[in-house]
Amino acid sequence: MVILAVDPPAEPGTGDWPVISRMTMTMTIVDGPGDAGFPLPRLGPPGDLAPPGWVDAVDRGAGSHVVFGTGADDRAVVARSLS
């Protein structure tokens, strides 16, 4: 699951949301339909910020559950994994 501490897009829907998480890009991208998209850094001062095995788990599950915001009623979408 990816939790984004951002306001949800006006119409997040269940459209074509892909998630790309690769060290070669040094970031994870949750890319939505239209202009909606959220880049997340993969590297920080301590090194890789993604939990160990996260990329493989997303690939095995063919995607990830993405939650917008941190409240109980925030919207969520399922993003497919792009390998």
pLDDT value at position 83?
61
> Could you give the 3-state DSSP secondary structure of residue 6?
coil
φ, ψ for residue 55 (rounded to 5)? Answer: -60, -45
Instruction: Give the global pTM.
Output: 0.65
Instruction: Identify which of 16, 44, 12 has the alpha carbon closest to the alpha carbon of residue 28.
Output: 44
Question: Sign of dihedral through CA atoms 28, 32, 34, 40?
Answer: negative
Note the pLDDT tens digit of each residue in 54-82.
778 877 878 788 888 877 777 788 888 87
